[in-house]
Structure 1
Amino acid sequence: MSKTPAARPKIHGGGCLCGAIRFQALGPAGKPHTCSCRICQRHTGALTAAWVEFASDKVSWTGPGGAPSVYRSSDYSSRAFCASCGSSLGAIDDAPVVALLVGAFDKPGSLEFKPTAHSFRGGRPKWWHVDIKAG
């Protein structure tokens, strides 16, 4: 009886604008969503941020700059960014979760990153529309 080798988890790579901070996230992306809260808006400079989550033990910082710099943005989370180029990378939560900004990935168009929900819809200007459709 032959054993079928276990499938390797998918590796999602990404990083900052200058390349000093690089990351690898293993496995399927969790909770793909967008957010229009003021913290996300100020962290990214965009009206809406797109996020995916990974367990913190599934994210490794692989670039020459090591782990990103962080700023404590709330009672439960810190925002991650590159100290060299200023690129926003995501949020490192007190819970064992790292939420990474979809735009920081090498392949941000992956269907796995397609948002399924939108948080803080009321935080967006009335002229800015985000349509999240299932499927």
Structure 2
Amino acid sequence: MAREYNGGCLCGNIRFVASGEARNPHTCSCKICQRHSGSLTQVWVEFDKKDVNWVGPGGIPKTWRSSDYSSRSFCDVCGSTLGAIDDDPMIALVLGTFDSPNRVALRPTSHSYVSKKPKWWHVNAEV
């Protein structure tokens, strides 16, 4: 049986069920992630687009085109960041939206754009 991961936005308008393999769980400190999340580091996990179902009353989240290959997604009611919907068959969801973010398969294993984080910001990926 495939694993399922549930989550959604702050107000509950946008909800998702992601199933299958959680891929590339990582943290990122690029300027786009910082501005989209309002934090210095964002935590991401990727799923095949076919394995993410939008089940809340708001349906599919709103998007904003952030690069030539991806759009950032968010709730148009509460403004919560939900992730990135890429042009290829991938959706990256932000870990803070998961109902149970402490699951082992969601633990970040790498960090992108380390050079963009403030020098005083320490990201520890060790258990």
Q: TM-score interval w.r.t. the shorter chain?
A: over 0.9
User: How far apart, CA to CA, are the structure 1 residues paired with 2:112 and 2:7?
Assistant: 24
Q: Identify the residue that residue 101 of structure 2 maps to in structure 1.
A: 108
Partner-residue secondary structure (3-state), 1:112: helix
- Alpha-carbon deviation of 1:109? 1.1
Q: State the TM-score, normalizing by the size of structure 2.
A: 0.97
What amino acid maps onto 2:30 in structure 1?
Answer: C
Q: Structure 1 residue 129 and structure 2 residue 122: aligned? A: yes
- Where do residues 1-135 of structure 1 align in structure 2 (5 Å cutoff)? 8-133=1-126
* Deviation of the 1:69 alpha carbon: 0.3
Cα deviation, 1:70-94, whole Å, max 9, x if unaligned, reads 0000011000000000000000001
Paired with 2:13 and 2:93, the residues of 1 have a C-alpha distance of 16
**1:4 corresponds to:** none
TM-score (norm 1): 0.92
How many matched pairs? Answer: 127
Backbone CA RMSD of aligned residues: 0.9
Q: Which runs of 5+ in 2 are unaligned?
A: none
Q: Deviations over 1:5-52 (max 9, x none)?
A: xxx101100000000000000012100000000000011001000000
Q: Distance in 2 between matches of 1:21 and 1:41?
A: 22
Letter in 2 for 1:50: V
1:110 to partner: Cα distance:
1.0
Which structure has the larger Rg? Answer: 1
* Aligned residue type for 2:61: P
| Identity over aligned pairs, percent | 57
Q: Which runs of 5+ in 1 are unaligned?
A: 1-7
State the alpha-carbon separation in 2 of the partners of residues 13 and 28 from structure 1: 14
Structure 1 residue runs of 4+, over 4 Å off? none
